[in-house]
Structure 1
């Protein structure tokens, strides 16, 4: 079930990267009129979505490994949200220093990070149960 949801989110990212970016920015960025996304952001996001769909369809060990990485990433961001802001600003925007993050973004980020961490833990538990 979770794998199907992950795949559907990947598909949504492939089909509507502009909406994904707009939703992210509504939650995260205070000064949308003052920042310019990097040119390659949308194609990169679309490629990431395609990779997620492929992982969900393939399943098995490859999917499990991807969930371990997702879980580790989520765990780090759960503890250190400023690391995400620093990385995301540099990856997503032409002038990362111009980005003003919304005050409540860290709370939202922690919720998403917790979900990522739980995906990783779930996959670890499934691995242990099948051994």
Structure 2
């Protein structure tokens, strides 16, 4: 069930990245209305959604480069979110120096890291059908 929900989120993020970015801005910025996205920001969000769909929708288990990169990013976000938050803001926004992060932006980034780790872990389990068969045997 969680796998299907995360695949649906990935598809939504591919199709409509702006609402996802807007929600993240409301969560992480005091002055979200002043944020000036770089043109490639929407494509970055779409790439994240595509990565979620790719690693979760595969019908084979086992670690791929995509799984490992997602897990590595998740571990880094959980352990040291601050430099990654700063880097991502520099990549996404044109006016980084004018933005005011909310106090909980680093804990929120840690939660994003947990999400990445969850996606990576779910992708190594295999399909939902194989899980159900394993439980029956």
> Does TM-score exceed 0.5, indicating one fold?
yes
Q: CA deviation at 1:29?
A: 1.2
1:78-125, Cα deviation, whole Å (9 max, x unpaired): 11111122111111101222222111111222122123234445666x
- Alignment partners' CA distance in 1, 2:16 and 2:57: 20
Structure 2: tracts of 5 or more residues without a match = 127-137
Secondary structure of the corresponding residue to residue 60 of structure 1: coil
Contact kept? 1:17, 1:45, Cα under 8 Å: yes
- Alignment partners' CA distance in 1, 2:109 and 2:48: 19
Structure whose residues are more often helix by fraction? 1
- TM-score between the two structures when normalised by the length of structure 2: 0.73
Secondary structure of the corresponding residue to residue 37 of structure 1: coil
- TM-score between the two structures when normalised by the length of structure 1: 0.76
- Alignment partners' CA distance in 1, 2:115 and 2:52: 16
Q: CA deviation at 1:26?
A: 0.5
Question: Is 1:98–2:127 an aligned residue pair?
Answer: no
When the two structures are aligned, how many residues end up with a matched partner?
125
